[in-house]
Each structure stands twice: as C-alpha cells, then as structure tokens.
Structure 1
Amino acid sequence: MMWGVFFTIRLTTLIFGLVLGCLILLITQGAFLKWLGLRSPFWRDFIAYVRWIFIIALVFYSIAFIYRYAPAVHKKWRLVSPGSILATFLCIMATLAFSEFVNNFGRYNALYGSIGTVIVLMALIFINSLVLLVGFELNVSIKSLRAIAEKKGCA
C-alpha cells in the first residue's frame, strides 16, 4: 500500500512540474524564439499551433485535476471524463468570446476607470466557474444515471 501512495505522489508531482514548465514556456515563448534565432514564418506559425495545443492540454488537465482531487468526498473519478472535456471546450470558447466582447464592445476603463480591469477579471472568473460547475454536473449526472441503470439491471 505504501508504494501506491509513493507512486501517486510522484506522478502528481511530475504532472504538476510538466504543467508549470508548459506555463513558463508559453509565457516566455517570444524571448525563447529570439534566443534560438528562429525568425522564419514557418517556425512562427508552427509555434502558434503548438501553443494552442499546449493551452488546450493545460486547461483540460487543470480541470480534470480539479474534478478529481477537489471534492471533499473520497470517490474515484476518472481523470478523463465527459465533464472535463465539455468544460475545457466551454472554458476556451467562453474566454475567447468574452475577450472579443471586451476588446470590441466593452469600454470598462472609460466607464469605471482603472477598476474596470478588476471588474472584467471578476466577470471572467465568474463565467469560468459556471463552466466548471456545468462540467462537474455532467459527470455527476452520468454517474447517477449509471448507478440507477445498474440497480435496475439494465447495464
């Protein structure tokens, strides 16, 4: 039993390290490319596509870890679940749509002054927390429907 706990802690630490490394690479990609001397359009486009893959993976695994380890109950949730897939898609779409709205239609700094940034950030956090709740509710609904089906002997 001790080896299982040790392995789980090591694996979790490794994954968090990879996530942190990806975050640092995403933040410093411009300086890193200049340091490497890659200025061709091919590499710029390639890095842009790879960046989106990293962003999607980072959001997905962050949501999956929240769904797996955040609840206070000790139920075993799968890391890859329909709720985490839906929440990842909705989180990215909601963030892009909200960003488009703020850039084109919202004039929060003119209306609220410098506190407009805080208001926009709080609205984005609120939208993303609703998306997290929708995804987790999907997981719970699927699990309860499976339990009902097993109880009736359908599955």
Structure 2
Amino acid sequence: MILRSRLGLAMMAMRHDPVSAASQGVNVGRIRFGIFMVAALGTGLAGAIHYMAQLRISPSSDPYRSSICIFIVMVGGIGCLEGPIVGALLYFFATRLFGHYGVSYMVVLGLLTLIILFSPGGLWGLFSKFRDWPWFPVGHKLEYTTPHSSS
C-alpha cells in the first residue's frame, strides 16, 4: 500500500533519478529529510532497547583490533574487493600457524607487511599484475586506443 501511494511513488522516482523526480514536482529535499528522520528514529530506538537490555554501553577502543584491520586491508590490497579477503585469509592462517609461539607471531605479521614496500597494491595487486583473474568482476577497465591519423 505504501509503495503504491503518492509518497511511495515519489520515493521510487527519487531512487531512480532524483533530478527527473524533482522536475515532475516531487519535493526531493523534504522527502529525503523525512526518510533520514525515520531512519534516525529507528536506530535511536534500537540503541535504547540495547541499552535497556545491557544497562551499560561501553564501546571497546582496542588499538590491537584496529591495527589488525589495517594489516588485513593493506597486505591484502586496497581498492578492490578481493584484497581484504586475501588479507583476512593470510592473517587467519598466520595466526593459526605461528600463534602457538606466543607473541612472536607478531614478528611474522610485521615481516609480511614488507609486501607493501614491493607492491603498493598488496598481495592481490601483485597477483593481478601476473594474472587477470578477478573473483568479483565489478570494476571497469579502460582500454586506450591510439587515434588513427588520416593522411
């Protein structure tokens, strides 16, 4: 019922093309503001329910987790979907193989970060130089052709 109402049709028109929806008389700014307010109300209610269940909120600010996330993305590869997956797999197997040696596996992870010096694109960028095998082919590649000169 909502999608077939006047508001629902306006929201669908905005989703597809906000400029053409505005040209047809839809107040795009007002509807977007309303959508953001409803979303903020929903997340606020979810936070209130969570607080009532926990009776305390204390976000963890563990620098160890942040550094692991940075390691995964930088070693795997920045700018592609495959890179963080490769980085997470590398981190998982490195902690499983070298984790029983105590904290010394952090030295192994530190040595693995030297990959960034040789390949700024990470492991996936290094792999992509030798073989074009995307796991998620969602990107676009530009092909440059030289213009033909007419004589």
Normalising to structure 2: TM-score of the pair?
Answer: 0.29
Normalising to structure 1: TM-score of the pair?
Answer: 0.28
Higher relative contact order (CA 8 A, sep 6+): 1
Going by fraction, where is helix more abundant, 1 or 2?
Answer: 1
